[in-house]
Chain A
Amino acid sequence: MLPVAALTVLNLSADAFLAYAVTRGDLAVVAVLASLAPVVTALLAHALTAERPSAPQAAGAALAVLGTLVVSAAQAAA
């Protein structure tokens, strides 16, 4: 049951931190930082798994994240 507890705590803390950040912080900054989550996921996957995407694949994924980041920043600033 340890993974259940860990997953619950991680999920709820992430929600709580995000909610706190959105209410207290600059929304444009929060939106950009929050959209960086898949970067953390990709880095963890690189560190913990043997998966190695090709350079074009990584470039495409990076482009998608960058675009999401730009849209988040623009929407939050609007």
Chain B
Amino acid sequence: MTKRVAPVLLVLYSQALQSVVLLVVVMAVRQPYSGAGLAWGTAAGAVGAAGLVAYYQALAVGQTAIVAPLASTGAVLPLLVDLARGERPGPVALGGLLLVLGGIVVTSLASGELDEPAPAPTWHGPPATRRRVAVPRPPVPILLALVAAVLFGLFFVGVDLGGEAAGGSVLWVALGVQLGALPTALTGTLRSRAGGASASTTGPWCCRWPP
């Protein structure tokens, strides 16, 4: 089933179809037009789609069970924005933030590729080079998942601001999100057409959007 349609085409078609469906819904429900809501939604959609590209790549090169949880940590980004604005979140929220950071560090260390593999110990005791410290660097899937997390977090911030600006007309924000994601899906399709079978066509064919 996954071989019949290129993943990027699948995303593009699905994206276009969702835009059309949402447009019909917006017209049918007759929410008052909100330009600011539509604009924030479009910006959020563009950022979120970029995050989705990073997420796809992370899933394509890494383990789904590791990538998906890390990418979902973007939900805490609005809390970081609050902190940066000088707001004081409660102790529970801060504790959760520490858990998230700890989880990211543990996962990164557990997945770290050592630049220099440590020499194996022998029966005659540990090797003389034992104290040479190999420098671990976070593997590509982890980094891509974290980039996706940040972009998804910015997506949430954008949708939040859009919702505030739109008042009750949240469907216009939702329509903006779909429209903002369209150019990225289109670009991905054109690039994969131009470059033949690129890495993006080997990625997973479905995932949740918006994140």
Contact = CB atoms under 8 A, between A and B. Distances in A.
Does B bind A? yes
Please classify the interface of chain B as helix (H, G, I), strand (E, B), loop, or mixed, using the class held by over half of its residues.
Answer: helix
By CB atoms of chain A within 10 A, which of B11, B13, B69, B97 has the most? B69
A22 B142 CA distance: 31
Contact size class for A? Answer: 35 or more
Interface string B10-27: 110110011001000000
B122 interface: no
B69 A38 contact: yes
B160 to A, nearest CB: 11
Contacts of B73: 64, 67-68
Interface in B116-156: none
Please classify the interface of chain A as helix (H, G, I), strand (E, B), loop, or mixed, using the class held by over half of its residues.
Answer: helix
A4 B5 contact: yes
Contact of A11 (B18, B63, B69, B75): B18
Contacts, number: 163
Interface in B57-103: 63-66, 68-73, 75-76, 78-79, 89-90, 92-93, 95-103
A33 interface: no
B107 to A, nearest CB: 3
Question: Which 7 residue pairs across A and B have the least CB separation, nearest first?
Answer: A67-B99, A70-B96, A64-B103, A60-B107, A63-B103, A60-B106, A67-B100
Interface of B: 1-2, 4-5, 10-11, 13-14, 17-18, 21, 63-66, 68-73, 75-76, 78-79, 89-90, 92-93, 95-111, 170, 174, 205-206, 208-210
